[in-house]
Amino acid sequence: MKDKEYVRKARLLMRKMTLEEKIGQLNQVGASIYGTTNESGYEEMAKNGKVGSFLSLHDPERCNKLQRIAVEQSRLGIPLIFAEDVIHGLKTVFPVPLAESCSFEPELASRTAEVAADEASACGVKWVFAPMTDIARDARWGRIAEGSGEDPYIGSLFAAARVKGFQGGGNDGNIDEKHVAACVKHFACYGAAESGKDYNTVQLSDNNLYNAYLPPYKAAVDAGVLTVMTAFNDLNGTPCTVNAPLIEGILRKSWGFEGVVVSDWAAVAEAEYHGYCADRKDCAAEAIKAGVTVDMMGHAYDTYLSDLAKKDGKIRRCIDELCEQVLVLKYRLGLFDRPYADLSRVKDLYSQEKLDLAAEAARKSIVLLKNDGILPLKRGAKVLVTGGLATDKRSMLGCWCFPETQESTVDTLSGIKEKFAADYAAVPVDISRYSAIICVVGETNRETGEAASHAFIGLKESDVALVKAAKKTGLPVIALVLSGRPLALTEINDDVNALVECWHLGSVGGRAIADVLCGDFSPEGRLTASFPRETGQCPIYYSHFNTGRPYIAGQGCRCKFRDCDEGPLYPFGFGLTYTEFEYSEPTIENAVIGKNDKIRLSVKLKNTGKVEGTETVQVYFRQISSKPIRPMKSLAAFKKVRLAAGESRTVKFTLDPDDLGIIRTAALKPERAKGKCEIFVGANSEDCKKIEFVTE
């Protein structure tokens, strides 16, 4: 990835740089969600070479003004980078990443990331802090919304796809005008925060680390991601931001990453609060030695590095090496040649074409959880819509986005009104004129995302009361759940005729919901995170171990809760369509897979319903015995198949046992899966048919 020419140029430039100027390149300041931008002093910093990048600025004129100072008035004219949290769109807002992963269509995520990059770069932003690839198995953690759910295979595919979308197709690591540098985060394992409490400690065995949590970050690195963000948490006792074995060892040495590592917000300084570093100076020394290139708002590098460097040759060498990384990134971004945002591009933001893509992504993200046949509703039907979220535009956009396009966002009620004769009432009243009641329940944008951990993830009492009141009317009840996390929906599950997980869908979410309700679009989303029955089941994920006492219905001393039914309310991979699919018994070519053989698998799928539909055929793998142990099931492949009513198709998969076995080292190379194995093929992680075989 390292381009010799850029390195040569960076080194030439560095010959002219003072120590203070080099440290300036490692310093990032700005605002983020922790406050509004206080820009006083920015211009001075830019002029004096005290800063290499700003975060949370995406006003192109403002960016250009600061850039002009850096380029024209600073001693060496080194351009700045403007970085921003463009998590699921800037002006055009796409579904929250968790929702989008339910499309089971990484290529879609690539396209939405590309549009986000286009809008970001038009606004002066050349570095986005996405994708987040933290595996999350505990929905109490509010940031589950920002990733691709619980599964490393899905997580890896979406990680790579988003990196390619943000950065563009080229393999040479150069970023053109319409793309940006991506940043995979949060390295590592932030999603495993104990009890789902944000920023909490993470304790993981090597088995879990290598097989479940690290693969998506590596997939991003393999896809050529240019930057990596360290996580707030400690991992097995060492804060990630000062964790040399993690950054230098795994990321750089094992995976060959040569780009920029940025700390999370103030995380360098927080190593002191973790009780790892004695003081902030120590934090600066530990972080730079661990290989953290940029200190985001920790003010540890700009305050202490200069002193430290004067006494310690190793730190001087680290500063040189890391400064070179920042300069190379600036060359790759083309900032030395094109430092300014092209203001003429602003007119292309939030265009119809981009909104069409947002609508496609939103439709494909929706997951139909329950339907007794009430859906699809007849177009034009008279419906009563209830629930405060129905008109909440901001919440439709979800966490981590900018409210600039909020006014033109299509909320649920507005979308429904485009297809139905809909009235709105805060509570169900005067129901005689309607054919169904639509209850919009769930959570607001502020209840998901960062610092939004919840100890209870059931529905709010008021939402449950609303659904019960609707049920009492005797009319069919359709519940639309707007949320950034899997909620425990047990309390309303039996009361509703249809249950639709709508997530926070972005700019045109309401329109996508209405498309699904009226059948203009047949739902095809599949859950990428398990929906628990009760909060107390968290963390909950399909890919668990068997234990010595696996659950057996009716038996006592088994791995289960006494006061809750076993398993999720809706499992990983689950989602209904408006038609039915029938699976034949799957077959494989050989019951014994020889040393150089692959597993060739086929299953016949038939659309037995009355309308066209898309099925996501899922393949799970299990190795029966392994030291250490392997999960009961691991997603190994899937295919989305569109079939007309009555149509059949044989769906084929080829799997390689070399890719399926246990991972024992940080290089993340799987061993060959040997011995007795099982493959499961079906519609979701629970509803699937098994084949047994042996690999040599």
Active site residues: 264
What distance in Å separates the CA atoms of residue 289 and residue 580, rounded to the nearest whole number?
58
Phi and psi torsions of 300, nearest 5°: -95, -40
What distance in Å separates the CA atoms of residue 278 and residue 273, rounded to the nearest whole number?
9
- Residue 423 pairs with which residues in a beta bridge? 384
Residue 390 neighbours by CB under 8 Å, 6+ apart: 411, 412, 413, 416, 424, 438, 440
Does 217 engage in binding with ligand NOJ (CB under 6 A)? no
Residue 129 CB, nearest distance to ligand NOJ (Å)? 4
Binders in 443-462 for ligand NOJ, by CB under 6 A = 450
Binders in 166-185 for ligand NOJ, by CB under 6 A = 185
Binders in 72-101 for ligand NOJ, by CB under 6 A = 85
Binders in 656-685 for ligand NOJ, by CB under 6 A = none
Does 151 engage in binding with ligand NOJ (CB under 6 A)? no
> Cβ closer to ligand NOJ: 114 or 450?
450
Does 234 engage in binding with ligand NOJ (CB under 6 A)? no
* CB distance 240 to 213 below 8 Å: no
Does 265 engage in binding with ligand NOJ (CB under 6 A)? yes
Residue 32 CB, nearest distance to ligand NOJ (Å)? 3
> Cβ closer to ligand NOJ: 272 or 411?
272
Residue 186 CB, nearest distance to ligand NOJ (Å)? 6
* CB distance 647 to 607 below 8 Å: yes
Does 129 engage in binding with ligand NOJ (CB under 6 A)? yes
> Cβ closer to ligand NOJ: 184 or 369?
184
Phi and psi torsions of 258, nearest 5°: -120, 5
> Cβ closer to ligand NOJ: 219 or 240?
240
* CB distance 484 to 449 below 8 Å: yes
> Cβ closer to ligand NOJ: 144 or 459?
144
Does 133 engage in binding with ligand NOJ (CB under 6 A)? no
Handedness of CA 189, 192, 194, 200 (dihedral sign): positive
Strands (E), 223-362: 227-230, 234-235, 238-239, 260-262, 295-296
> Cβ closer to ligand NOJ: 262 or 601?
262
Structure tokens at 225: 């991601």
Binders in 33-72 for ligand NOJ, by CB under 6 A = 33, 55
Residue 227 CB, nearest distance to ligand NOJ (Å)? 11
Residue 145 CB, nearest distance to ligand NOJ (Å)? 12
From the list 423, 395, 404, 376, the residue with the least C-alpha distance to 509 is 395
Residue 256: burial class (beta carbons within 10 Å; 0-12, 13-18, 19+): exposed
Binders in 181-210 for ligand NOJ, by CB under 6 A = 185
What distance in Å separates the CA atoms of residue 310 and residue 19, rounded to the nearest whole number?
9
* CB distance 641 to 614 below 8 Å: yes
Strands (E), 446-553: 477-482, 498-501
> Cβ closer to ligand NOJ: 31 or 564?
31
User: Which residue sits closest to ligand NOJ, CB atoms considered?
Assistant: 32
Residues that bind ligand NOJ (rule: CB under 6 A) add up to a total of 9
Does 264 engage in binding with ligand NOJ (CB under 6 A)? yes
- CA 612 centroid distance within chain: 30
Q: Which helix (H) or strand (E) holds 371?
A: strand 367-371
Does 241 engage in binding with ligand NOJ (CB under 6 A)? no
Structure tokens at 67: 């850039």
Does 32 engage in binding with ligand NOJ (CB under 6 A)? yes
Chain residues binding ligand NOJ by CB under 6 A are: 32-33, 55, 85, 129, 185, 264-265, 450
